[in-house]
Structure 1
């Protein structure tokens, strides 16, 4: 499990790679606690390279969501196939901004996790 952090203006991005479970969640929580959150800014948690996540990992994400909310910052989850299924199953997509691709810096667009493929016909 690894966490890398990048900052672009008022947006802090945490990119997680590997398995998030009871053995590694301490490192994730510690990394989340150290994330700089700008009031009114954004926090992006990129989970596309997470291969497994259990309830302790979801708990860490929920704690970060509350921390971001307290700072009036917006939290966005970028999910891959593994994490998207679980996020939807737990209905976190009802309260959090969940996408399948990060914002495109050139045009600010995101691909919604609820977006359907367009019909080319």
Structure 2
């Protein structure tokens, strides 16, 4: 997994590329540590170029959600691709995440 940070209008955008799975664990934890320092902010994970997510990757998103909520920040998922969106739908992730198609 590759990632890129950008700021737009006070919103932190994190673009994820490739696969969010066990192999991405360390990189993803570094992302969460960095964005958790932005207390009370809005964070958007752009999933348009994420090609695959498995159960571990989904778990990582939930961990990010919990850690950001603990510091008063919100997390949205932007433009998930078909395969990623399908996993989010199957697991009813929309009950936890703001998913913007």
Measured against the shorter chain, the TM-score band is 0.7 to 0.9
Q: Is 1:3 equivalent to 2:6 in the alignment? A: no
Aligned residues: 99
Matched, 1:90 2:91: yes
Q: Which has the higher contact order (CA 8 A, sep 6+)?
A: 2
Aligned equivalents of 2:39, 2:12: Cα separation in 1: 8
Runs of 4+ off more than 6 Å: none
More helix by share: 2
- Structure 1 length-normalised TM: 0.74
Gapped runs of 5+ residues in structure 2?
none
* Alignment RMSD (CA, Å): 1.4
Q: Structure 1, unaligned stretches of length 5 or more?
A: 101-121
State TM-score, norm by structure 2.
Answer: 0.87
> How is 1:14-33 mapped onto 2 (pairs within 5 angstroms)?
14-33=14-33
Question: Deviations for 1:44-91, whole angstroms, at most 9, x for unmatched residues?
Answer: 011111111111111111111012211222210011212111111111
Alignment of 1:37 with 2:51, yes or no, is no
